[in-house]
Structure 1
C-alpha cells in the first residue's frame, strides 16, 4: 500500500513569526511515527531555516517551493538544489501551475529542475494539470501526458524511486488549474480518473513497478470538508494543499483524513 502524503504549500504567505508558529502547531499535532502518513510543509524560502527548527523533533518534513537547475554561479536571485539540501529540505515542489502560467516555465525548464533536484538528493513533487479551457476542449489527458513526459524526459525508473529518508524520490501532484484558489474542486470521480491516467502513463514509460509505487497527490482547493472523499479514491495518495495549509485548524483535519485511510 502506498503511504499517504499530505503537503502544505504556503506559497508567498506568512511572516517569520507566523510561519514558525504555524509550523510549531502542526509539528506538535502530527504523530512522531511516519509509518502511516507523510506530512510536509513548504514555507517561503526566507523562512526555511526557522521552520526547520520548529520541525526538528517532529515527523513533519520540510519542503521548498522551487529551485534552479544549476549548482552555483552567476544566477542572481536563484537557489540551487544543493543549497536546499544544505538547509535540510526533503522535497521541492516543481512545475506548479503558478510557475507555469504566471512565470512562464516550460516543460523543458521543469525537466532541468527535476533532473538537478533528484541528482542533489532531493525528493520532487512534480505538479501537472490542465486549465479550464483545456478541460472543456477535452484535452485533459493530452495535457497530462505532455507535462509528465516533458517533466521526466531523460530520466530512468531507477532515478525516480528509492528514497530520500525512506521516501520515494518522485511524487506527482495532479492540480487542475481551474480548481486552484477558485473554490472549485474536481469531483472525487474526476480526480480518480486523472490519477489513474497518470499512473497508466507512468507504467507505459517507466514500468509497472514504478507506477504502482509512485504516490500521486491531488491539489486543487482541498479542504477539511472534501478531503476524506478525495483521499478515499484508490489512486489518490494524498493532497497538495494550498490555502487550507495556512492554518493548523484547516490543515490538520486534512492530515487526519489521510490517517483515516490507513
Structure 2
C-alpha cells in the first residue's frame, strides 16, 4: 500500500532564523498527524541545522540537488555520500529549474538517479512538460522520454522505493495548477508507462504532484487515485499552509 509523501522544496530561500522558526512551526502544526510522510529540502547550507531541529519528529530531511561525482576536484558540488553523512534521505533531481538554468539533460539526471540509488538515498525524480509542449499535446511524450532515460539504462526495478514528482513546468510558481482530472490523467499515464516494464514496481512507486500546490487546492488533488502527495514550493515556506497540505494528504489516505 502506497503512503502519500508531502515534501517541501524551499528552493533558494531561508536563513538560520527562518529555518529554526519554520521547523518549530511545522513540529507544532503536524504533531499527531499520521498517514502521510513529510519531508523538507532546505538549502544545503541549513541541512545540518534542520537535521537537529527535526530530531524526534516525523519530519524527514531532504536536499535539493546532488552531483554525479562522489569526491574530487569539483568545486562547489555536493556528493551523495555527503548528503547521506549529514542525514538527508530524499534528494530532488531533474527539477525543471535545474533542467532550464543549468541545462541538465535527461541522461545527466539519470546518472544522478543511479548515484543516489547506489548510495542508498531516495531520488525524487521531477518530470513534466513546458506550456508549449502541453499546448502541442506532447505531455505524455515528454514524460515518457524523461522516465525512459532511467528505465532504459537501469531497468524498471530502479524505481523500487523511489518518488516521482510530476511537475508541469507551466504550473510551477505561476499560480496556475493542473485540474485534479488533468493531473490524475498524467499520473495514471506515468504509472502505466512503468507498468509496461514491471506492474509491481509501478504499483508501489510514489507519484507526487507539484506546481502551485497550496492549502486551497490540495484536498481535491489528493482524492485522485494515482496522486500520492505533493512536492510543494512556495507554500512550504509557511508552516500553517504546508500543514494544511499534509493534513489533506493524510485525510485522503484515510478516505
Q: Deviations over 1:81-113 (max 9, x none)?
A: 000000000110000010001211000110110
**Is the CA contact (8 Å cut-off) linking 1:10 and 1:42 kept in structure 2?**
yes
- Which consecutive segments of 4 or more residues in structure 1 shift more than 4 A? none
Tell me the equivalent position of 1:22: 22
Between the two proteins, the alignment pairs up a number of residues equal to 253
User: Structure 1: where are the runs of 5+ without partners?
Assistant: 162-167
| Residue in 2 that maps onto 1:179 | 171
| 2:194 paired with 1:195 | no
Check whether the contact 2:156–2:194 (CA below 8 A) recurs between aligned residues: no
Matching residue of 1:54: 53
Is contact 1:111-1:152 (8 Å) kept?
A: no
Q: Which residue of 2 aligns with 1:3?
A: 3
Q: TM-score normalised to the size of structure 2? A: 0.96
In structure 2, what is the Cα distance between the partners aligned to 1:62 and 1:231?
23
Alignment of 1:125-140 (within 5 A): 125-140=124-139
Distance 1:105 1:81 in 2: 17
Structure 1, residues 122-145: CA drift from partner, whole Å, max 9, x if none?
011000000000000011110000
- In 1, the alpha carbon distance for the partners of 2:176 and 2:222 equals 17
> Quick one: structure 1 residues 54 and 152, their matched pair in 2 at CA, closer, same or farther if it must change by over 3 Å?
farther
Deviation of residue 20 (structure 1)? 2.0
Residues 43-82 of structure 1: per-residue CA shift (max 9 Å, x gap)? 0000000011111110100000000011101000000000
The 8 Å contact of residues 28 and 58 in structure 1, kept in 2 or not, is answered as no
TM superposition shift of 1:152: 4.1
Q: Hey, what's the Cα distance between the residues in 2 that align with 1:152 and 1:18?
A: 39
CA contact (8 A) 1:22 1:246 kept: yes
TM-aligned CA deviation for residue 259 of structure 1: 1.1
Structure 2 gaps, min length 5: none
Counterparts of 1:247 and 1:111, CA distance in 2? 32
| In 2: Cα distance, 1:203 partner to 1:256 partner | 29
Write the mapping of 1:87-102 to structure 2, written as runs, cut at 5 A.
87-102=86-101
CA-CA distance at 1:158 after TM superposition:
3.7
Shift of 1:27: 2.4
Q: 2:208 aligns with which of 186, 208, 217?
A: 217
Structure 1 distance, partners of 2:32, 2:85, is 23
Structure number with the bigger relative contact order (C-alpha 8 A, sep ≥ 6) is 2
Matches within 5 A, 1:1-262: 1-31=1-31, 36-161=35-160, 168=161, 170-205=162-197, 207-261=198-252, 262=254
Look up the SS of the partner of 1:225 in the other structure.
Answer: coil
Structure 1 residues 167-208: Cα deviation after superposition (integer angstroms, max 9, x where no partner): x2x100000000000000000010000000000111113x00
